Amino acid sequence: MNKILVIEDDRVIRENILKLLKAEGYDVTGAENGAMGLNAAVSNLPDVILCDVMMPQLDGYGVLEALRSHPVTATVPFVFLTGKADRSEVRQGMELGADDYLTKPFTKAELVGAVSSRLKKQAALAKQQDNLRSQSNELLQEAADKLEQIKTNLCGALDRQEFQVYYQPQIDVQTGQIMSAEALVRWLHPEKGLISPAEFIPDAEATGFIVQLGEWVLQTACRQMQVWQNAGFSLEQIAVNLSPRQFYQPDLSSRVAEILAEIGLAPSSLELELTESMMVKDAESAIATLQQLKDLGISISIDDFGTGYSSLSYLTQYPFDVLKIDRCFITNITDGCANAAIVKAIIEMAHSLCLEVIAEGVETEAERDFLWRYECDAMQGYLFSPPVPAVDFEELLVSGK
């Protein structure tokens, strides 16, 4: 049964309206002034409110304003009851957000018509909202199902050993020898072939699978490093990229320590690469995590330097060991170009902060010569080798390239 609240200070008019509406089958409540009407509106939440404009103390405008600003009653249909000639009253009421008005005296048909048309409109709005809600629920469900499906696919790929760790040499700029390696994950799909990390890493990140995948990469790379060290190759470090999700795992440092202990690899042989953007999310906890990792003896490098937030102050706040200059600064670098000034400045600044500098994306001899001249410590890029499978990397080590 629809509930109608009638706020009217004239007792005769009020009771007359209540009687008429009750006869139509509505559940009616009367209030004899604005304050009582407001209380009744908030506690009963009527389907329609009929309210006199002219009342002592709190008038109809005041009631309407209060109702519209209250979250519970903000959208309840509101019909003004006005005196006959008061066009300005009507105008003011509609501007305040009234839905309709009735001019006194009105007939029973006018009263019932005003109430029922408000109720019909309200019912239509409610139905529309229901539809919207169920549509958006469906969309949310679809998105959740899709993510779940993606995660299942990724987990399956890991089980089927479709992921592989590739290794890219990091070359000592002065000696030209391989000093370290960066481990990079690749997905060799049985049908689609090699899927780019740019394609599957965002999915892995979105589904949370990246934590599992990242740990697998870390284990695989550390085990491989152990094999190479045992074989007598003089690799200084294996560098492994950490994803934001992994980095903010509460037990990250103890998990990394466990993995190193299981494999028997010295923490000093591991370098973890992080990006600038990961540091800004929660600086305090980032610094604490980095310090824990450093206390284990692991090196920390800041990856893709210059492309993120580039706030130089964090270089002194965070305990980094290595700075990796992003490839975008290295491409086509020659003395005199703008990037040259940036790279020279970064190398100099990093060295004065006791950071080692690695240049990424070195593809030409001119780029290599530039880095040599300005005493960059290490470099990686296609000039020496793309990321390659472990067996191929081992060949590079053997040939002493």
Shortest CB 353 distance to Mg ion, Å = 20
Work out how close the CB of 241 gets to Mg ion at its nearest, in angstroms, rounded to a whole number.
Answer: 5
Rounded Cα distance, 6 and 81, in Å: 10
Shortest distance, CB of residue 184 to Mg ion, whole angstroms?
A: 7
- Residue 89 or 273 having the CB closest to Mg ion: 273
Query: Contact 273/238 with Cβ under 8 angstroms?
Result: no
* Min separation Cβ 166 and Mg ion, Å: 12
Distance CA 8, CA 83 (A): 12
Residues 157, 367: contact at Cβ < 8 Å?
no
CB-nearer residue toward Mg ion: 23 or 328? 328
* Nearest distance in Å: CB 340, Mg ion: 23
When the beta carbons of 64 and 235 are compared against Mg ion, the nearer one is 235
The residue (of 15 and 382) whose beta carbon lies closer to Mg ion is 382
Which of 273/367 has CB closer to Mg ion?
Answer: 273
Smaller CB separation from Mg ion, 118 or 324: 324
Of 209 and 305, the one with the shorter C-beta distance to Mg ion is 305
Compute the least distance from the CB of residue 278 to Mg ion, in Å: 12
- The number of angstroms, rounded, from the C-alpha of 81 to the middle of its chain's C-alpha atoms is 51
Complex with Mg ion: residue 62 or 197, whichever CB lies closer: 197
Closest approach of Cβ 386 to Mg ion, in Å?
14
Task: Quote the least distance from Cβ 301 to Mg ion, whole Å.
Answer: 8
Binding residues for Mg ion, rule: CB under 5 A, are: 241, 273, 303
Nearer to Mg ion, 9 or 303 (CB): 303
Smallest distance from Mg ion to CB 273, Å: 4
Residue type, 58: L
